[in-house]
Structure 1
Amino acid sequence: MKKPANFFLIALIIVFLASCGEKKTQKTENTANSPAIHTLVFIDKTASVDVSKPFVAQKYQQALNSIIEENVRKSGDKFEIYYIHENTAKGRCLSLTCRTEMEDTEGVNATDLEAIKTNYDLSIRKERSFVSKQALARLNAENTSESNRETNILASLPVIAKASESGAIVKVYYLSDMVESVKSGRDFQIKPPKDNSEAESWAKADADKYKDLALNGPDISMILPFEATSSIKENNPTITYYWTKLFENLGVMSVQEM
């Protein structure tokens, strides 16, 4: 029986659409053409945060490994660690740039695609492992100098603004209790905000001092060293509310507490 001509036309259309769909999927999954990610991790190295405690050590080690897995993806991705202490602005202790090339796989046949993915997986695993090893060494390092007596978190803002100048996607992580404690400024150890209203008022006033900084909307995460059973005295919600409002006043759209 002779098949109608439109049968072959329909078949050709189906094959064409399937081919387009496959190419689109390959392009979507590929990170080769995506913007670079600049990761900034601020680790609290003051007396109020003890990373040797089992809960804190486990939480922060897992956090670092997850951050590296998510953000170190291809050549140009940058990973930096700064210590939070009395001299946070000068506290950079690690700066690494990914070298693994992720090739554009659009239109590549199945055999070549498999080879590209295999080479990429091997290379990126080695890089992530190296970055993780270096990051954990910085996490576990002790700070016995006098710089551990003050916690200058606000000094991280110019660092974020500087990172934003490159045009990369900036992701910021604070491994800290977020208790600002500066002799010449805010000292939440002595005087934390009494309620959310005061926290918001202080945040607006402090943000005004940094209004000339262009943070360009980075993603910010505060990873606190507290267990779910911690008391309000230890994990004061008005302090993290202050930081959320401060970042919002500086144009940051994504602020999360973990």
Structure 2
Amino acid sequence: MKFFSPRLSFLILVVLFLSSCGSEKEATKTVADAPVYTLVFLDKTQSVNVNRQYVNEKYRQTLTDIMENNMKNKGDKLEVYFIHENTSKARALSLMIRTEKESLEGVNATDREAIETAFQLSLQREKGIFLRQLLTKLNQQNTGASNLSTDIWASLPVIAKAGESGADVKVYYFSDMIESVKGADRRDFHIKPPHDDAQAEEAAKADFKKLQQYAIGSPQVTIVSPFEATASSKENNPHVTHYWQTLFQELGGVTVEEL
């Protein structure tokens, strides 16, 4: 049997360790470089009035923040869907950052600054165009019969599809989250809302059995509420929010933030 000398054995261990570190760094880099895939669901039903000053200002500012924070690099994507009777088929806008930064490899400090400045100018120009399109969709009215139903469940296959891309998925619901669809196996929170958290949890866990087919992964989910802080619990039912928090927890351990 052939044995390595202590010195050679040590060198082999060092090489293996450095190789392992390189692989870990590469894996980390791959995760860090994953594009951001933003899904915006805008409620276009009768119960949400974006013409109200408070709602319009809050929604405009939040959309501006989303554009600024989520659309930073080539490949970052944003899609808008309208929430109404046919949510999953109601894609209203699809945007993707195409501005690309020149390679900084081997450049001096002056050229590096020039490349960075040119990239930011081009990026901001592109985002400005996108933001105008986004705000136009916010103010677009839905006067058709589809505004009588609110199918939020239908957003789940859309989220699952986005998750298949391998991107960092961020989901925003600009909605009162009042699911309202007719049918024996559906929820209509306008007619029968949950009256306490226990009832909300029971409903969410029952609905999970119908919806668990959608592998939504681990998106970041935010509800952008149209209600002012002074709204009554009758208007802004906290148990409806608890229903969604429970459902997303059941679907993938996803925590829901509310703005």
Matching of residues 58-77 of structure 1 within 5 Å: 58-77=57-76
Task: Say whether residues 1:123 and 2:122 are aligned partners.
Answer: yes
Instruction: Quote the residue 1:172 is aligned against.
Output: 171
Structure 2 unaligned residues grouped into runs of 5+: 1-28
Sort the Cα spacing of 1:106 and 1:225 in 2 relative to 1 into closer, same or farther, 3 A: farther
In the alignment, structure 1 residue 55 sits paired with structure 2 residue 54: yes
Which residue is 1:237 aligned to? 238
Flag as ranges the 4+ runs of structure 1 deviating above 2 A: 102-109
For residues 66 and 105 of structure 2, the distance between their equivalents in structure 1, rounded to whole angstroms, comes to 27
1:94 is the counterpart of 2:98: no
TM-superposed CA distance for 1:252, in Å, is 4.0
1:140-179 equivalent positions in 2, closer than 5 A? 140-179=139-178
Which amino acid in the other structure matches residue 47 of structure 1? Q
- Cα 1:231–1:111, aligned 2, differ >3 Å: closer, same or farther? same
Q: In the alignment, which residue of structure 1 is the partner of 2:78?
A: 79
Q: CA–CA distance in 2 between the matches of 1:252 and 1:73?
A: 27
SS in 1 for 2:252: coil
2:245–2:255 Cα contact (<8 Å) kept: no
Q: What fraction of aligned residue pairs are identical, expressed as a percent? A: 54
Q: Which whole-Å CA distance do the structure 2 matches of 1:242 and 1:109 have between them?
A: 55
What is the Cα deviation at residue 212 of structure 1? 2.1
Look up the SS of the partner of 1:209 in the other structure: helix
Closer/same/farther in 2, CA of residues 193 and 120 from structure 1, 3 Å limit? same
Return the offset for 1:120: 1.1
**Does the aligned pair in 2 maintain the 1:215–1:252 contact within 8 Å?**
no
TM-score (norm 1): 0.85
Gaps of 5+ in 1: 1-29
Asked if the contact 1:218–1:252 (Cα under 8 Å) also holds between the matched residues in 2, the reply is no
Conserved 8 A contact 2:35-2:167: yes
1:146-179 per-residue CA deviation (whole Å, 9 max, x = no partner) reads 0000000011000000111111111000000000
Aligned to 1:3: none
Cα shift at 1:106: 6.1
Cα distance in 2 for partners of 1:35, 1:106 equals: 21
1:50-92, Cα deviation, whole Å (9 max, x unpaired): 0000000000000100001011111111110000000001110
